[in-house]
Structure 1
Amino acid sequence: MRRRGETMILGLFVHPAGHHVAAWRDPAAWTLRQLHEHVALARMAEAAGLDLYFLADFVEVQLESIEAAGRKAHNGVYGFEPLTLLSALAATTRSIGLVATASTSFSDPYVLARQVASLDHLSGGRAGWNAVTSADPGAAFNFGHQSPLPHAARYARAQEFVDVAQGLWDSWDDDAFVEDRATGRFFDPAGLRRLDHVGDHFRVRGPLNIPRPPQGRPIVVQAGSSEAGKALAARTADLVFTAQSSPATATAFYADLKGRLPAHGRRPGDLKILPGLVPIVAATRAEAQTKLEKLQVLVDPVVGLDLLRNLSGGAPLPPLDLDAPLPPRPPSETAQGRQSLVLDLARREGLNVRELYLRLAPGRGHGQVVGDPGDVADAMQHLFETHGCDGFNLMPAVLPGGLTDFIDLVLPELARRGLVGERPDGVTLRERLGLARPAWPRDETKARSAAS
């Protein structure tokens, strides 16, 4: 059923070279080691009307398998620090949202809240923060820990972290900085709120030493699909980035997460859900399939097995017969949602080890469509109109070619169907996504008093 008046949100999830694990071996692929490449991609996405420029982050060089690490570009080696990079892009773009990933496990809430608020001011209200809970042992070692926190403890810390960051963004009323030169008053003390937070993980007095962000609160993104991840998202997130390998799992996830919102006083429209999508598109289906096959033959088995190890729980793999099914894996403490997705995919499609890692190679478990423009648009339209998503985080297999293919071939078809539309200039990211601007706590108190 058509969702009247609604159009898809489209983000660009940027990964070195592209999302296919062998993308960097394509002679035409950029590896995104230069600022000018990011500037060109961001401007290309912005000109096409995409809503988000979305960056993941790595705080370690992933060397669990030295041999595999030396054969791939997805090991954290090339990653610029996202907030630094997006601050540069804020000066070279006008309207596209800028979303940076930062870990709640290894960051400090005051510093992170200040950084994201600064990006929001520098970009004119276009900042977003993808709050992740890091579970990699190598990352823990880089921050002085002997091991990652257990899953439940990571999410408890994340919940408190997000609460503190959002509270700090509410430190100042929107009009607190009066800058009245005649009276000598720079800010109105009545517009200030000190946080005075004392919790299990943080003690933060506040206030934040920067005016309230243009969006009130920058967009908070959450990417966990475990029970703890969904609970965190339902309470605090504005946008959820999720990996869903089939329409059935996507619609179930969508209904589950939206159904949790009323318990927190929220409406379905207060949270937008964007599954990742790898579109491999060409003028004909045969040409699109050829594009995929040219990448698949570049997948080194060492890299394929390391990918499978990472996505199926992280524990070392025993010696495997590549033509046999993947044997049972121990429950993951680090990535429960992704492990479940991978194991369900293998079981549902009857894949052997080689078939499974090749199936995961383009997008690491995210949805993928290989076909002509109509095929890709059909898949996107079906999921959107059957309430499996509010849009997509696009994951081009190769950059920049995968992005230009989508812009040139698929976007016109989506526009013809009325599924994408022009966004107004000069609006914040929150406005662009159709999300309400949070009131400052003092304003909420006033409203309650007036109502009584």
Structure 2
Amino acid sequence: MTGKPRHMHLFLVIGNVGQHHGAWREPDSGIELADSIDFHAEVAQRAEAAKLDAVFIADHLAMLGREAHAPAQHLEPVTVLSALSMRTESIGLVGSASTTFNEPFNVARQFASLDHLSRGRAGWNIVTSAFGEENFGSDPLPSHASRYERAGEFVEVTKALWRSWDADALAVDRDSGVYARSERVHPINFQGEHLTVSGPLNIPRPPQVHPVLVQAGTSADGMAFASRHAEVVFSAHQGLPMAKRYYDEIKNGAKRLGRDPDSIKVLFGLSPILGDTQKDAEERQRALAGLLNIDYAKQLVAFQLGGIDLTNYDLDEKLPLDVLPDPTTINRRQGRFDLYRQLIEDGETLRRLTEVEATAAGLQVAVGDVERMANEMITYFEAAAADGFILIPPSQRVDGRRLLSEVIPLLQERGYARATYQGTTLREHLGLARP
């Protein structure tokens, strides 16, 4: 294991024209090109030029809300990342795949294939999925605890499948006609409570042995899972104190399990709204808010709050806590429910909740000029509240471009971000050992 890196680790969320639900309405958003590989390749190439660790594509398995007030540009992540592997050379390629609505053999094949195609740049964001069951047999969504139990087995199986080919399994002996040494390819014969898989994988061992494992759990189950399995964790919190507390809990949880705390990187989720000055940035924030379909935003907030009815609440009204369901009954996105409940306890209005949800799905929104943005990132990094950031631009063509062309160079000048790639794989970018 290498020592703690001096620079921040940086991921950029791509896969859409921007995170803000109203940004697609801007004249130069690129929404007409959102389903083309050229649009996404342009963003990924800019991120690579800025020497970021990775680009990241989230995934949704259903549409939220009965009306499509915001574009559901969710192309399947592994498909897009495989195409991007041909358009990039060094940057990591991370995508989501559900452990609830997939089978481990398929996921192991997909990410092994991506790792081979990209020569060791693949990462898998492990999600248990909080919705979408109506598209996979219409069974009730399994309980929160059950989803994480299955996810634990799922990760065990995928790792065993990736290792089912020994490092020296390939012979490629044309004279003897032996491609692979059969004694070096092993069944895994996994039998668990949720999964039964024989193996072996029908693809040779991936370049990284197994792709980097990423996770974003903020519930108690999610944090326990992250401490045990994850190598990169996304921190979805509001403010430095909460971020610091989460960071310490994840690191201490890993240590209690016998893991090196530096073998798990915590990236704080940050959505930057940028302007030439603080006033310009605040005006941009107001302009984005003016593009938002409020009814749709209220639907999204209602979903995060357990499906309560917000129809009759005024936007500038503070929600009473007694309208919220008992936290123990929440089966979908427990971490997000806790975050929004805390905002309500802090006295935030419904309007503020819709802005938080529409801009970055509950993650921290930072508003300011380039200097202020860099300073805020340095503050979190120096306070050991983050090993880096997952950057979520409200608009790729406005905030995303300024982020990569102005904020990141400033961090590079100050020694907080890499100026060149020192390795070729995502593990090397992150300072993670091969398994």
What residue number does 1:310 align with? 303
Distance 1:304 1:106, change over 3 A: same
What residue number does 1:224 align with? 217
Of residues 181-190 and 84-93 in structure 1, the stretch that sits farther from structure 2 once superposed is 181-190
What residue number does 1:286 align with? 279
Trace 1:30-429 onto structure 2 (pairs within 5 A). Answer: 30-31=30-31, 32-62=34-64, 65-66=65-66, 69-73=67-71, 77-136=72-131, 139-317=132-310, 319-328=312-321, 329-330=324-325, 331=327, 332-348=330-346, 350-424=347-421, 427-429=424-426
How much does 1:409 deviate?
Answer: 2.0
**Equivalents in 1 of 2:192, 2:207: separation in Å?**
28
Contact kept, 8 Å, 1:284 with 1:372, in 2: the verdict is yes
Contact kept, 8 Å, 2:356 with 2:363, in 1: the verdict is no
**Equivalents in 2 of 1:110, 1:266: separation in Å?**
27
- Residue identity in the other structure for 1:106: F
Contact kept, 8 Å, 1:105 with 1:158, in 2: the verdict is yes
**Equivalents in 2 of 1:108, 1:5: separation in Å?**
35
What residue number does 1:446 align with? none
How much does 1:426 deviate?
Answer: 5.4
- Residue identity in the other structure for 1:335: R
The TM-score normalised by the length of structure 2 is: 0.94
Structure 1 residues not aligned, in runs of 5+ = 439-452
- Residue identity in the other structure for 1:384: F
Contact kept, 8 Å, 1:134 with 1:148, in 2: the verdict is no
**Equivalents in 1 of 2:206, 2:7: separation in Å?**
27
What residue number does 2:26 align with? 26
Contact kept, 8 Å, 2:58 with 2:96, in 1: the verdict is yes
- Can you list the C-alpha shifts for 1:271-312, whole angstroms capped at 9, x where unaligned? 011121111122211111111111011222202211211222
Q: Percent identity?
A: 41
How much does 1:5 deviate?
Answer: 4.9
Q: Give aligned pairs, total.
A: 426
Contact kept, 8 Å, 2:4 with 2:262, in 1: the verdict is no
**Equivalents in 1 of 2:6, 2:166: separation in Å?**
32
Distance 1:4 1:208, change over 3 A: closer
Contact kept, 8 Å, 1:135 with 1:149, in 2: the verdict is no
How much does 1:24 deviate?
Answer: 1.0
How much does 1:182 deviate?
Answer: 3.5
- Can you list the C-alpha shifts for 1:82-138, whole angstroms capped at 9, x where unaligned? 1111111111110111111011010010011011100000010011111101121xx
**Equivalents in 1 of 2:196, 2:155: separation in Å?**
13
- Residue identity in the other structure for 1:11: F
Contact kept, 8 Å, 2:238 with 2:363, in 1: the verdict is yes
Contact kept, 8 Å, 2:269 with 2:390, in 1: the verdict is yes
Contact kept, 8 Å, 2:356 with 2:365, in 1: the verdict is no
Supply the RMSD in Å over aligned alpha carbons: 1.6
- Residue identity in the other structure for 1:120: D
**Equivalents in 2 of 1:388, 1:312: separation in Å?**
27
Structure 2 residues not aligned, in runs of 5+ = none
